[in-house]
Amino acid sequence: MPERESVIDFLSNLQIRVFTWRFGVPVGTDRFGNRYFRDRRHSAGRRDRRWVLYNGASDASKVPPEWHGWLHHSSAAPMKEGDGPFHKPWQQPYVPNQSGTLEAYRPPGHTFEGGHRAAASGDYEPWTPN
C-alpha cells in the first residue's frame, strides 16, 4: 500500500517521475513498495543507469540490502529477499532509519521523555565552577 506523499514531495520529484515515464524500464518492487528502474537507452561500453522511486518520503535507508547491491552495480540482478550470504537467522528484520521521527530512540532521561532518569549506584556529580 503506498504511503501518503505531500504535495511538496510530489512536485520536487516531478522531474524524476517524467524521466522515469519516458526512459525507465521497471525492474521490480521491494517489500516496502519502492519501485526500481533501469534506463532503456543503454549505450555499449557504459554502465546502465539505475534508480529507485521511493514509496512515500525519499530516504536512502529505505533501500533493503537485496536492492542496494543492484543499485550500485555490485550484482547484475537483485537478490531474492532472505537470500544471500549476509542473511543470518539471528538478524532482526530490516527497519528504515527512524532518526528525526516520532519512532526515534530516546534514552531514559531525554528531555522529551520527561528529563528524569533512575538513579544509578555510581551516579555522577555535575561539575560546577567555584
Q: What is the arithmetic mean of pLDDT over 85-103?
A: 78
Share of the chain above pLDDT 70, in %: 92
Helix (H) or strand (E) holding 67, with range, is helix 65-71
- pLDDT tops 60 at residue 127: yes
CA neighbor of 37 nearest in space, from 16, 62, 61: 16
pTM of the model: 0.66
Please give the backbone phi and psi of residue 51, each rounded to the nearest 5 degrees, phi first: -155, 170
Sorted by where each begins, the domain ranges of the chain are: 7-88
